[in-house]
Structure 1
Amino acid sequence: MKKVKFNLFLFSLLLSSLSLLALVDVKAQQFEFGGGLGVATYSGDIVRRLDKGNLGAQGTLFGRRNFDNVWSLRLGLSYGRLSATDSINPIDAMAEFRDAYFKGNLFEVSAVMEYHFLDYLHPQSAHRFSPYGFFGLGFSYFNGSGAFGFDPSNPDRGGYSLATPVIPFGIGVKYKLNNNWGLALEMGFRATFSDLIDRIDSQARFSRNDDGQVDPLEQIRFTYYGNPSDRDWYYFLGLTVSYSITTVKCYAY
């Protein structure tokens, strides 16, 4: 029940961000619309660190409102292809025995605030680029399939899906091509509230003999199937292009 209430709370914050776009005085804003392509990857019980061998396709569409030369609100809809397998580079003996894999499609909606470190938006600025950071809230839905190689009869084999709140944050750099068009290179981190994107949790699974019995030695050895203290993460790296629609005179402080 607490988890449901927390998810509803985060969803209400996203709706509030959407409402903010409509309520703030349009006459004093600049809008941007755009999209981009890149790569996605994950870390969890199968892959503990960023690994270029597990990259998948990533894409995004977004709308942005620049409140001034420093702060912006961005609403985004993103897609990522995530996958990993124990068989390529098992992290330990448990992973080698487990021989698990997963793959699937992830969809995310998010609202983030961006902070620009240089005043590159001002028409008279000496800078055509600016590094920036962002932080916000989001919600993701993952639909995938997975299996554990050591036990073909395991009921966990096959398709599955899950939804989880996420905390998106990261860094990037923007470059203004002209008054309307801009480019951005961004690295984004997503902290999830789930340990099941890779379909591996801390519950032990054991292969059984012909009598359906678990070897006592195996039961002792493989009690900890996954890490119960870690949540799964995923990451986006991409290049975006945006088009600006200015509805006000030049910004001035």
Structure 2
Amino acid sequence: MKLIKSLFIVFSFFFLNIESFAQKIEIGGGLGAMNYKGDISPDFHPSFAQLGGHLLFRYNLKKDVTFRLSTTFGSIYGNDKEVSDSFNQQRGQTFKTSIKEVSLVTEYNFFSYQYSRMHKDWSPYVFGGIGFMGFSPRDTPVSDYKQAGVIIPFGVGIKYNLTGPWDLNLEFGTRKTFTDYLDNLGGDNPALSRNIQNDYSRGDMYYYTSLALTYKFIKIYCPK
């Protein structure tokens, strides 16, 4: 009899913790625009935006702290001819590169963010972390460079509770990379004369602006 009681207590504790853990889980996905900054686009050019998408898994540790694992995919594009700088106009290069990434970030909500039956919550937030990306240029690579590497994702966003467990997330994120070949133009390119080589002292960056729909596994108590 004591053994049965002990097992009952253990299993009750186990399942209660599973339920508590599940209510901190959030999943979702979204679409957005990828952009790039580098040699072919020294400044941010909205006209170079390409379609991207992502899936996410979020663990809401506290009302203001969240851990997020996500995978993102899309492409970036640039064209010297569409840039006003005379150097870019003379060079006349263009590129398109597909990107896949996995990242783990920590989010900090400025307001305590949680679901409530009495009101719709919202909060601005910031995030930062680490990730890994792989990329593939449309054209033949100019050299035998690595097409994968570590990235540092960071950015800002806004969370808004639509209804019940459903939320909308609007986010702008930057990816700091450690490569100058996203635009297939890093280092010495034998196809270009020396006077129109790129500035390979600067690394490329890319951006992802997105709108996501997420679902939280929460228990909603309905009055009888």
> Per the alignment, in what secondary structure is the counterpart of residue 118 of structure 1?
coil
Q: Which residue, 205, 209, 214 being the options, matches 1:242? A: 214
Provide structure 2 residue ranges, at least 5 long, that are not aligned to the other structure. 1-16
Name the residue aligned to 1:47.
41
CA distance in 2, matches of 1:54, 1:87: 12
CA deviation profile, 1:157-200 (whole Å, cap 9, x unmatched): 9x987112100000000001123100010000000010011111
CA distance in 2, matches of 1:248, 1:63: 21
* Superposed counterparts of 1:109-188, under 5 Å: 109-121=102-114, 123=116, 128-146=121-139, 156=142, 162-188=147-173
Aligned partners of 1:33 and 1:244 also within 8 Å: yes
Q: Which amino acid aligns with 1:180?
A: P
CA distance in 2, matches of 1:113, 1:179: 24
The structural deviation recorded for 1:142 is 0.6
CA distance in 2, matches of 1:205, 1:236: 32
Q: Which amino acid aligns with 1:119?
A: S
Q: Which residue, 60, 70, 81 being the options, matches 2:64? A: 70
> Per the alignment, in what secondary structure is the counterpart of residue 90 of structure 2?
helix
- The structure-2 alpha-carbon separation of the partners of 1:142 and 1:36, relative to structure 1 and needing over 3 Å to count, comes to same
Aligned partners of 1:187 and 1:235 also within 8 Å: yes
CA distance in 2, matches of 1:127, 1:32: 17
Name the residue aligned to 1:92.
86
* TM-score, with length taken from structure 1: 0.72
> Per the alignment, in what secondary structure is the counterpart of residue 196 of structure 1?
coil
The structural deviation recorded for 1:126 is 6.1
CA distance in 1, matches of 2:212, 2:153: 17
- Aligned structure 1 segments of 4 or more residues deviating by more than 3 angstroms: 25-29, 124-127, 204-207
Alignment RMSD (CA, Å): 2.7
The structural deviation recorded for 1:205 is 3.8
The structural deviation recorded for 1:146 is 3.4
CA deviation profile, 1:24-59 (whole Å, cap 9, x unmatched): x65544100000001001010000111011010010
Percent sequence identity over matched residues? 32
Q: Which amino acid aligns with 1:62?
A: L
Name the residue aligned to 1:200.
185
CA distance in 2, matches of 1:50, 1:246: 40
* TM-score, with length taken from structure 2: 0.81
Provide structure 1 residue ranges, at least 5 long, that are not aligned to the other structure. 1-24, 148-154, 208-217
